[in-house]
Amino acid sequence: MQEAIILVGGKGTRLRPLTNHTPKPLLNVAGSSFIRHQIAKLIDAGVEHVVFATSYLAGLFEEEFQDFSQDLRISYAVEKVPLGTGGAIRNAGRLLRGAPDEPVLILNGDILSGVDLRGILAAHRGRDADVTLHLTRVADPRAFGLVPTDDDGRVLSFLEKPKTAAECVTDQINAGCYVFRRSVLDAIPGDREVSVEQETFPRLVAAGALVYGHTTADYWRDLGTPLAFVHGSADLVTGRARSPLVPPPAEALIHPTARIDPSARVLGGSCVGPHAVIGPDVVIDRAIIGARVTVESGARVHESVADHDSVIGARSVLREAVVGCHAEVGADNELPAQLRLSCGIRIPAQGVRVSGTAVACPTVH
Ligand code: GDD
Ligand code: MG
């Protein structure tokens, strides 16, 4: 029986306020919670038992899957305090059923990837490896774990989040998907917090364990930042990235209960959630519009997320913004890029501008 662990205990701080009430893997991406896309991929790869390593808002995972009826056994390994990525793997390992030599798939809970999981498992078995890491190449590796390999793919070292240019010895990074021989993950210390990246991988490499990289050029994105999150969702809708749960490629994914004015344009792989209302002349481009959101006439929303029950006022312009649930952006605002609005906050009409277009002073001098 093929088993897998998904690491889903992180707080998702870079995606606040979206993650204030919802763990990152349960955020809606292209019409389904992100973890459901991952589960569909695991089922396609023949996985029959998955263990969720949970911590932050752990109970919400059991709620999400309480009615799950597909042919997959789901177990929950709940950490009372976060154990770090290595401690989480070890803790979840207690719920596995396979023999010590069996390969276990392990996924970070925020990676959208086109990699063939059966291919990684086959590479692992073919080499009788202790650990096989999926690796990918990125333009800027600083936010990731660097993993140089030799000509045979054997891992030479593991350097998590390099700080200096001199440390950036390769553009080949840990793609957050591993196969561990079960006995190797059982040997991770179980009595304290452990980082698999900072401690376990360097220790295994130094000890001469058979740690190999499996480098591919498939679609790959970590959805941990707001911009990556909206781009990943748009890529699923337009077909650049694939999930068994997403309908055929389209310009937008619009929930049947949403109301879109005929003069509005929804494009670039945007998603519009249930009961959202999109007014006349609105432009929604590569954005995620949550349930019951209202976007008023002439507003423009680019590469942004408007969480459920928020309001974007008439003619307001958003770029790379995150609007928390129940927040209200009044009319004629122009939000600076990368702004995050807390849940429930209100910006009055004409409250924020970034361009030089003057707004008349309402006070009497
Ligand atoms: N259960 C549990 N407990 N899960 C955790 C914990 C914990 O204490 N800490 C983090 N996680 C989960 C997160 O929920 C996420 O799914 C995964 O572990 C990785 O954490 P991130 O916070 O997303 O890490 P990152 O993106 O900065 O870096 C990791 O991913 C990169 C690839 O995107 C590292 O593995 C890097 O080496 C890698 O390159
Ligand atoms: Mg991440």
| 26 Cα to the center of ligand 2, angstroms | 14
Same domain, 186 and 149: yes
Q: What is the CA radius of gyration of the chain?
A: 22
101 and 145 in one domain? Answer: yes
Q: Is residue 275 in a domain?
A: yes
Ligand 1 nearest atom to the CA of residue 173, by list position: 39
CATH number of the domain encompassing residue 332: 2.160.10.10
Report the nearest-CA residue for atom 16 of ligand 1. Answer: 109
Amino acid letter for position 232: G
In sequence order, what are the beta bridge partners of 112?
221
- In this structure, which residue's CA is closest to atom 2 in ligand 1? 9
Q: Which residues contact 222 (CB under 8 A, 6 or more apart)?
A: 108, 110, 111, 143, 144, 176, 228
Report residues whose beta carbon is within 6 angstroms of any ligand 1 atom. 7-10, 53-55, 79, 82-85, 88, 108-111, 144-145, 160, 173-174, 176, 197, 222, 224
Q: Report which protein residue has its CA nearest ligand 1's atom 33.
A: 222
Are 198 and 264 part of one and the same domain? no
**Residue 18 belongs to a domain:** yes
CATH at 39: 3.90.550.10
Measuring from atom 4 of ligand 1, which residue has the nearest CA?
A: 9
Q: Are residues 42 and 98 in the same domain?
A: yes
Domain assignment present for 196: yes
Do 208 and 305 fall within a single domain? Answer: no
Q: Same domain for 106 and 161?
A: yes
Query: Vertex 254, ends 221 and 249: CA angle to 5°?
Result: 50
Is residue 324 located within the same domain as residue 270?
Answer: yes
Instruction: Note if the bond before 17 is cis, omega within 30 degrees.
Output: yes
Q: Look up residue 106 and give its two tokens.
A: 């392990």
pLDDT given at position 99: 96
CA of 191 to the centre of ligand 2 (A): 24
Looking at the fold, whether 332 and 212 belong to one and the same domain comes out as no
Distance of alpha carbon 262 from alpha carbon 223, whole angstroms: 32
Burial status of residue 360 (CB atoms within 10 A of its CB: 0-12, 13-18, 19 or more): exposed
Distance 365 CA to ligand 2 centre (A): 52
Reported as type and span, the H/E element at residue 91 is helix 84-93
Kindly report the number of other CB atoms within 10 A of residue 80's CB atom.
Answer: 7
CB-proximal residues (5 Å) to ion ligand 2: 110, 222, 224
Which domain covers residue 295, as residue numbers? 251-347
What atom of ligand 1 comes closest to residue 222's alpha carbon? Answer: 33
Strand partners, 48: none
One-letter amino acid of 9: G
In this prediction, residue 233 carries a pLDDT of: 97
Q: Clarify whether residues 191 and 276 are in a common domain.
A: no
Looking at the CA of 107, name the nearest ligand. 1
Q: Are residues 256 and 218 in the same domain?
A: no
91 Cα nearest atom in ligand 1: 1
Which domain-ending residue is among 181, 204, 222?
Answer: 222
CB–CB of 303/283 below 8 Å? no
161 is catalytic: yes
Question: What's the length of the chain?
Answer: 365
322's tokens: 């995150």
C-alpha of residue 222 to centroid of ligand 2, in Å:
5
Number of domains, the chain: 2
d(CA 339, CA 286): 17
211 plus 257 within the same structural domain? no
One domain for residues 197 and 287: no
pLDDT score of 151? 95
Q: Of these residues, 11, 24, 41, 161, which one is catalytic?
A: 161
In 118-193, at which residue ranges do the beta strands (DSSP E only) sit? 131-137, 145-146, 159-160, 172-181
Is residue 181 included in any domain, yes or no?
Answer: yes
365 part of a folded domain: no
Q: Are 75 and 68 in contact (CB under 8 A)?
A: no
For the chain, list residues with pLDDT below 70.
356-360, 362
- CA–CA gap between residue 196 and residue 166 (Å, rounded): 23
Tokens of 251: 């310009």
Q: Is residue 10 part of a domain?
A: yes
In a domain, 77, yes or no: yes
pLDDT confidence of residue 359: 65
Sort strands 265-267 and 220-222 into parallel, antiparallel or unpaired: unpaired
The reply to whether 313 falls in a domain is yes
Ligand 2 centroid to 64 CA: how many Å?
21
pTM confidence score: 0.94
DSSP calls for 268-312: TTEEE-TT-EE-TT-EEES-EE-TT-EE-TT-EEES-EE-TT-EE
The amino acid at residue 39 is: I
Here the tokens at position 190 are 């179980």
Q: Do the Cβ atoms of 98 and 183 come closer than 8 Å? A: no
pLDDT at 265: 98
